[in-house]
Chain A
Amino acid sequence: MSSDGCGAPAGGISVSAATGSQAVVEGRVVHEGSPVATGYARLLGTGDEFVAEVPLGDDGGFRFFAAPGSWTLRVLAPGGLRAERSVEADYGHVTKVEVSL
């Protein structure tokens, strides 16, 4: 995980200027080296409180505009595949996460 401001993530989503001041968490999900195009990424707060969920893109990509703070990222995919990561979000940063199932 890194949070290095601007630049396109591995998944190929371009980060527009509009995200510059927002707290972005984005990344990509892979399984055995290939992008997971069917699946869901959900962002959870303290106590597993649901915050948001997105379907993965064709490249396994996902993006959230979170509030600053600590979050849990959970990924669900067919076949019972799942993974969890802790992530930090802050205004003006793009936190990138690569998840391998």
Chain B
Amino acid sequence: MSRSDVLVDADWAEAHIGDPGVVIVEVDEDTSAYDKGHIPTAIKLDWKKDLQDPVRRDFVDKTGFEALLSERGISNDDTVLLYGGNNNWFAAYAYWYFRLYGHDKVLLLDGGRKKWELDSRELSSDVPERPRTSYTASEQDSSLRALRDEVLGAIGKRNLVDVRSPDEFAGRLLAPAHLPQEQAQRGGHIPTARNVPWSKAANEDGTFRSDDELRTLYQTEAGLDFSKDTIAYCRIGERSAHTWFVLHELLEQPNVKNYDGSWTEYGSLVGVPIELGDGR
């Protein structure tokens, strides 16, 4: 795998509109963006309604994922091209999620919806109808996902990368500044975590920085030891999926997990260690 195997630019996407082997999928938290206009032929996935279990805090299970993709007309042989708003946070999350369930023919659109819009490329309000498929998912790949006990056991041993903003890391905010401040019971970060905000991996137009810039960011500036395994986290696991994509897919680090429980879980656990203050 290399950058060109996992990331494509807007010209590539434009050239593959209508390609029968490529399904373009917009993934957002707020799908009203899709409803106003989307890349022609794209279907939508709702980060919450479609990808989260409606009762427990967890993913939809394997059967649910199979039902979802079958209903949306995605088959096992399709190449799925994901893009979305928020600089691809939720598209990166969906990318990680597709990989978790064993769909390897998946790509991310560099720059996502923002670059597409800033380039003034075509948006369509037509909602495509795709014939139903019979999708088969694999069991979840646990090598990509960290749960809370593994995170606690990783303190001081593995690289912990907190990808939230410096104010969230320090404990001054509990959520990104475009969201109401609620959620976790306590602010702060997991002891020994390095703060490398996801945004440092992206250019202003939402595209990823070059591999050289990314290596400098994580190794030289943040001091991550690439010989160790890494767990990335944020507030709910979507921004850290963006960083997981950078470390695992672009920089090809083998053992990188996303902790999707993230701060909304960790910051509400009873009795776990928390550190306050700015990163070093």
Residues in chain A within 8 A of chain B (CB atoms):
18-19, 22, 38-40, 42-43, 45, 49-55, 58, 63-67, 76-79
Contacts and interface: CB of A to CB of B under 8 A. Distances in A.
Interface in B219-233: none
A11 B199 CA distance: 28
A43 B117 contact: no
B33 A55 contact: yes
Nearest to B175: A65
B114 A51 contact: no
Contacts of A39: 117
B180 A51 contact: no
Q: Which of B175, B176, B178 has the most CB of A within 10 A?
A: B178
Nearest to A43: B177
A54 B113 CA distance: 12
Contact of B177 (A18, A40, A55, A65): A65
B166 interface: yes
B167 A67 contact: yes
A38 B45 CA distance: 21
B33 to A, nearest CB: 7
B165 to A, nearest CB: 5
B246 to A, nearest CB: 15
B118 A78 contact: yes
A51 B177 contact: yes
Contacts of B118: 40, 76-78
Interface in B97-120: 114, 117-120
Contacts, number: 62
B237 interface: no
B114 A67 contact: no
Contacts of A76: 118, 204-205
Contact of A52 (B119, B120, B172, B178): B178
Given A18-B180, A22-B181, A52 B165 contact: yes
Contact of B120 (A49, A50, A67, A79): A79
Query: Majority SS of interface residues in chain B?
Result: loop
Contacts of A79: 120
B86 interface: yes
Contacts of A63: 178
Contact of B181 (A38, A50, A65): A65
Interface string B12-49: 00000000000000000000010010000000000000
B137 interface: no
Give the residue among A18, A67, A76 with the most B Cβ atoms within 10 A: A67
A52 B177 contact: yes
13 contacts: A38-B117, A39-B117, A40-B118, A43-B177, A49-B197, A53-B87, A63-B178, A65-B179, A65-B180, A67-B167, A76-B204, A78-B119, A79-B120
B166 A52 contact: no
A90 to B, nearest CB: 14
From A40, A49, A66, A79, residue with most partner B Cβ within 10 Å: A40
Nearest to B85: A55
A69 to B, nearest CB: 9
B173 interface: yes
A22 B180 contact: yes
The 5 closest A-B pairs by CB, nearest first: A50-B199, A52-B177, A52-B178, A78-B120, A54-B178
A66 B177 contact: yes
A27 B63 CA distance: 44
Nearest to A50: B199
A18 B180 CA distance: 8
